[in-house]
Amino acid sequence: MMSNREKITALIITYNEIGYIEKCLESVSFVDEIIVVDSFSTDGTYEYLLKHHKVKVIQNPFENFTAQKSFALKQATHDWVLFLDADEIVPTPLKNEILETVSKQTEIVAYWFFRQFMFQNEKLRFSGWQTDKNYRLFRKSKAKFSDRRIVHETLDVEGTSGILNEKLTHYCYKNYEDYKSKMLNYGRLKAIECFYRERKFNYAAMYLKTGWKFFNHYVLRLGFLDGKKGYVICYLNALGVLERFRELKRLEQKNELAYYLVMP
């Protein structure tokens, strides 16, 4: 029975999310505990969270996405965790499926969610995201975030995974400058990953991978069918790849300079 279901903790990490976090929190009001880890927002997000009657808010310095989400996961009281981004919303059909799922006796310990991407208030149907899915509901005791990645983090799951039918709504695109800033930041974080894995900068790889990213998402994965929205998204996603290589080159140059400065 639904009343006998296990309890759920919703976890969210935030930084300057006013305009998004309100709807996100409203959509997860059905859970038993809501914990938000804020990395010292400056737009009023933290003050808003402090006043929310159902939210426990903790401030923690942001190192990278994996570290911040791992910190948040440790705060959860309940074993079932619903981990969302601040710009994601749980629609009513998905809410009902989540509640039904955690009421079942099952060996499944983690669930993938498909996402409906939104360009402002319009749906993106293609542009490479048709098959996008992420772990969003899982048992805390059976999962942890991998330390192999610091952006687009990976969840390591010990046990069987399943997929929910209903989609999570993801308001990924607020405006051009916001999304561009996000893609550039992701690119820089990805460059740090590459640098510590000792991957080397290469001009040919930079141009080929940037071009492939755009061609794959805009042409092969039908971004052109999303019209102007598709072009903007595919262009900015490719720009993120370009920034990864530019930042990797900067890191290599900085490392070389440091080496020569310490030489006797």
Over residues 215-242, the pLDDT tens digits come to 999 999 999 999 999 999 999 999 999 9
Interval 14-25 mean pLDDT:
95
Give the global pTM.
Answer: 0.86
The domain locations on the chain are 2-172, 175-262
| Residue pair 105/191 in contact by the 8 Å Cβ criterion | no
- Residue that is written with structure tokens 């006013």 in the block: 18
pLDDT for position 257: 53
Quote the distance between the C-alpha of residue 48 and its chain's center.
Answer: 22
**Protein fold of 2-172:** Spore Coat Polysaccharide Biosynthesis Protein SpsA; Chain A (3.90.550)
* Residue 205: pLDDT over 50: yes
DSSP string, 212-262: HHHHIIIIIT-GGGGHHHHHHHHHHHHHHHHHHHHHHHHHHHHHHHHHHHH
- Residue that is written with structure tokens 């794959």 in the block: 216
What are 87's two structure tokens?
């710009």
Rounded CA separation 30/84 (Å)? 14
Over residues 66-117, the pLDDT tens digits come to 999 999 999 999 999 999 999 999 999 999 999 999 999 899 999 999 999 9
